Amino acid sequence: MSRRFLILAAAAALLLPALPASADSPPFELAVKRAQRFGGSTGTLVFSVEAVEYRTADKDDARRWSYEAIKQVQILSPTRIRVLTYEDQVGLRLGADRTFDFTIQNGAASPELVTYLLARIDRPVVTAVMPQYGGEPLDRLRVKHQRQGRGSEGTLALYDRQLVYLTEQEEASRYWRFADIDSVLRLDRFRLQITVYEGGGTRPFVFELKSDLPDGFYDALWARVNPSGLELQSPASRDLAVVGR
């Protein structure tokens, strides 16, 4: 190979545009719009090893949060992400924690992104997008999620390391690590309440069962949410074991 060819090849490489970061590996970069009561901004939401960053030309809106500075990440749908922070609110709600809502303009929140966040964040993560996980569930229940307004019908699946609610309504599905569940309660033969950490506190999910609640399902779920006598692990380390099951 001639020296002249090598020089031309190197020059051509310099002229090529830089390839964007892969959508399925860190850092995860999403083109987003931030919604606000008055106005808004557009930019890039970046999830890296150390932090979450909102890069935008609007200097007042630009932010960078370490994972410890984030109260909760919520993947509310494939195209909606909410970041709850410890930042003080301004204006009429002076002192309240600030929330940042983003709508994804191109692409979507991927299972790989959700898996990545679950492995990095000890605090509860809310997600309607399912992360990467496998294996057969220990049991399944056909249910309806009762809520004010419009409920949803789907399947509540119990796995060895997670509880999953799957429904065709894209914003109603949920994936919970057991450490992200505050409590479970058998209300009666046909109702089960799962209280989880969502938002600034806890939120109850009441499921109406389409058949009797099996004792085995409730006992297995309760034992995993209340692991007395079991080795306690952090949510991040417990979720790492999920991948590849």
**Letter string b/e over residues 31-46, b meaning 16 or more CB atoms within 10 A of that residue's CB:** ebbbeeeeeebebebb
pLDDT band at 228 (very low <50, low <70, confident <90, very high): confident
DSSP states along the chain:
--HHHHHHHHHHHHHSPPPPPPTTSSSEEEEEEEE-SS-EEEEEEEE-SSEEEEEES-TTT-EEEEGGGEEEEEEEETTEEEEEEEEEP-GGGTTSEEEEEEEESSS---HHHHHHHHHH--S--EESS--S--S--SEEEEEEEE-SS--EEEEEEE-SSEEEEEESSTTT-EEEEGGGEEEEEEEETTEEEEEEEETTEEEEEEEEESS---HHHHHHHHHHHS-TTSPP--HHHHHHTTTT-
Give the largest Cα separation in the chain, rounded.
81
Query: In terms of pLDDT, which residue wins out, 2 or 102?
Result: 102
pLDDT at 229 over 50: no
Percent of the chain whose predicted confidence (pLDDT) is above 70 = 78
Q: With a cut of 50, say whether residue 8 has pLDDT above it.
A: no
CB atoms within 10 A of CB 21: 13
Q: Determine contact, residues 200/123, Cβ cutoff 8 Å.
A: no
What pLDDT does 150 receive? 79
Segment among 5-9, 81-85, 144-148, 230-234 with least mean pLDDT = 5-9
For residues 136 and 231, what is the distance between their CA atoms, to the nearest angstrom? Answer: 23
Q: What are phi and psi of 103, to 5 degrees?
A: -110, 125
- Stated pTM of the model: 0.79
Residue 95, pLDDT score: 47
Residue with tokens 């919520």: 74
> What domains are there in the chain, each with its CATH number?
21-127 (2.30.29.30), 139-227 (2.30.29.30)
* Choice between 142 and 39, residue whose per-residue pLDDT is larger: 142
CA distance 229 to 234: 16
Q: What pLDDT does 54 receive? A: 97
Quick: pLDDT tens for 43-98. Answer: 999 999 999 999 999 988 899 999 999 999 999 999 999 999 998 765 444 445 78
pLDDT in tens, 143-171: 999 987 678 999 999 999 999 999 999 89
Taking only Cα atoms into account, the Rg of the chain, rounded to an integer number of angstroms, comes to 22
Q: What's residue 60's pLDDT?
A: 87
Q: What is the pLDDT of residue 9?
A: 37
Could you tell me if 174 and 154 are in contact, meaning their C-beta atoms sit under 8 angstroms apart? Answer: no
Question: How far apart, in whole angstroms, are the C-alpha atoms of residue 232 and residue 162?
Answer: 15
Q: Has residue 235 got a pLDDT over 70?
A: no
